[in-house]
A = this chain, B = another copy of it.
């Protein structure tokens, strides 16, 4: 791997001009990071990144997360250097029919593991990849690799990044290497701050290996990366780059979020070693150097072999008849879900559990205990009160090889995780979110802890399947659905209340999402879900009307019932229910705290009040 300094500079300038040209042609993109980070891409992909362009999904390849989403043109320009994209594809950057998107998008053919998320999340998803690696490498040394994240100032300001970095350092994820483009451009806020933070002191205190490169060049960056590989702590390499280097714009601050006009690129070009008239061309020296490097890497990768154990792990599909896994006779769904999860984790090495408070997992030994620097085999990730990072890290886990993560958390806190749950849905990551305390009656602490609108908010997310089982049978069905049928993220929403068992339920219909639990003669139909079925079951029988258990409400349209004579009820908001039933009972306001019986009465959702309301609706609409 020989390369003169001259070719390094040429490659960096070439990459920069190509990417600026793509942005300029699309009239969309960010010039500042495109100028500053070109040398980082060359340092990483030419000198350090191990992968095989002939096998982009090679399990032992290095991983790269573009957390600084503004740099997507550079990333795609680099993938073209590597031979994975054509000039024509790059020229269509940010267009609807292009492979080069305005934000980098998950792609099996390009070896892009993760769709670029709103700022901060890329760092957390990178931590997720690094956890996966640490877990796998301990079992299968041949799966060892590094995880690189490119981030900006703005990424590091986000709380989700701070949560994830704290976890990464606590658990000594030493093969995580963060490349921090410290050009100070990405957020004007920071520039204004009078009292700058001593980053080295801060991240050293957090147990990071923190390195700063001033007057960065591709060579110095590459050297720092090579050092970082030997660190026994995770590394942050702060790369001080010149903001808008060689740019003569008056308002240089406006470079972020802006493209350069052709004439401006021309001006910039004159100050670089790139001298071609066609901004999209690649110098043959550069092309040859990259080809050679890709060939070397391919040959290296071809000599790699996987153990049978690793192959088994990678092919191990969790297709499960949940009856076999057993479920104990606890008297509530919460306890039973924990038993199920523990049993599943016991059986499948690719299930990793994530929780803010591990006391929920009462048998964590089955998952080999808590994941830690001295227990890489542990599959219980104990995140602390860092819900957002937990969900975002989980997206990283789910994007690595064959890992199936399960998140366990109170429904109220889905608000904290929402931006990451959204990314699960966008990427169709197979993540299971088990969300508990799913009722306004679950806590006595008042509105700040009440679940009211959260389930509706989740139901509004495309690609996200939500199941709210009403008893153990449906709970089993929900888990089977996730493991055997789901092709993206799934939420199982459960109650911690004591829940009845119904003879009429079975685990099977829940996969269809909605079915008649009771069929009675009346033209009226009650529709409910989860813990709230219990109350309506008795009412339906008493009033001799039918009851649909609609664990997945999206599937209600598969059933035949009279919309104008349908009454829905959940001990949650009615928001979104009008689509399925003309009459909607629920809770559309915040209430004061108190024990659940008092609160139910106050809200008019105790069984007596509900029966009265339902009778009245039927009476008034005969």
A residues contacting B by CB (< 8 A) are 26, 28, 69, 94-98, 101-103, 105, 115-120, 154-155, 157-163, 166, 169-172, 187-190, 192-195, 197-202, 204-207, 253-254, 356-359, 370, 372-374, 382-389, 412-413, 415-416, 418-419, 422-423, 425-426, 443-449, 452-453, 456-457, 459-463, 573, 575-576, 578-579, 588-590, 592-595, 598-599, 602
Contact = CB atoms under 8 A, between A and B. Distances in A.
Contact of A456 (B359, B426, B460): B460
Nearest to A70: B445
Given A386-B157, A595-B96, A448 B423 contact: yes
Contacts of A202: 201-202, 205-206
B445 A103 contact: yes
Residue among A118, A199, A385, A446 having the largest count of chain B Cβ atoms under 10 Å: A385
A118 to B, nearest CB: 6
Given A103-B448, A116-B448, 8 more contacts: A28-B445, A115-B446, A117-B448, A158-B385, A162-B163, A172-B194, A189-B384, A194-B374
Contact of A154 (B372, B385, B389, B412): B385
Contact of A385 (B120, B193, B416, B446): B120
Contacts of A382: 188-189, 192
B598 A96 contact: yes
B94 A444 contact: yes
B426 A422 contact: no
A460 B98 CA distance: 36
A388 B590 contact: no
Contacts of A602: 96
A593 B595 CA distance: 49
Contacts of A117: 448
Q: Which 5 pairs of residues, A with B, have the shortest CB-CB distance?
A: A159-B159, A96-B594, A201-B205, A189-B384, A202-B205
Residue among A97, A159, A200 having the largest count of chain B Cβ atoms under 10 Å: A159
A385 B157 contact: yes
A99 to B, nearest CB: 10
A461 B102 CA distance: 32
A433 to B, nearest CB: 15
Contact of A95 (B193, B370, B457, B594): B594
Given A116-B448, A166-B197, A385 B598 contact: no
A419 B419 contact: no
A460 to B, nearest CB: 4
B575 A189 contact: no
Contacts of A573: 460, 462
Contact of A197 (B96, B206, B253, B461): B206
A159 B387 CA distance: 9
Given A96-B595, A201-B201, A462 B588 contact: yes
A115 B416 CA distance: 18
A2 to B, nearest CB: 39
A415 B419 contact: yes
B188 A594 contact: no
Contacts of A359: 188, 253-254
A194 B199 CA distance: 23
Contacts of A197: 166, 169-170, 205-207
A351 to B, nearest CB: 20
A115 to B, nearest CB: 6
26 contacts: A28-B444, A69-B445, A94-B594, A95-B595, A95-B598, A101-B445, A101-B593, A102-B444, A103-B446, A105-B593, A118-B415, A120-B385, A159-B161, A169-B197, A170-B194, A187-B356, A189-B358, A192-B370, A193-B372, A198-B205, A199-B205, A253-B359, A415-B422, A462-B588, A463-B589, A578-B579
Contacts of A154: 384-385
B187 A385 contact: yes
Contacts of A28: 444-445, 595
Nearest to A587: B462
A317 to B, nearest CB: 26
A412 B452 contact: no
Contact of A118 (B416, B462, B594): B416
B593 A96 contact: yes
A564 to B, nearest CB: 10
B102 A386 contact: no
Contacts of A575: 459-460, 576
A221 to B, nearest CB: 24
Nearest to A202: B205
B159 A386 contact: yes
Contacts of A374: 194
A460 B457 contact: yes
A470 B53 CA distance: 50
A170 B94 CA distance: 37
Given A158-B386, A197-B205, A595-B96, A189 B101 contact: no
Given A453-B460, A463-B590, A576-B575, A118 B357 contact: no
A105 B426 CA distance: 37
Nearest to A596: B96
A163 B169 contact: no
A453 B459 CA distance: 9
A161 B385 CA distance: 11
Contacts of A448: 69, 103, 115-118, 423, 426
Nearest to A461: B453
Residue among A201, A384, A448, A463 having the largest count of chain B Cβ atoms under 10 Å: A448
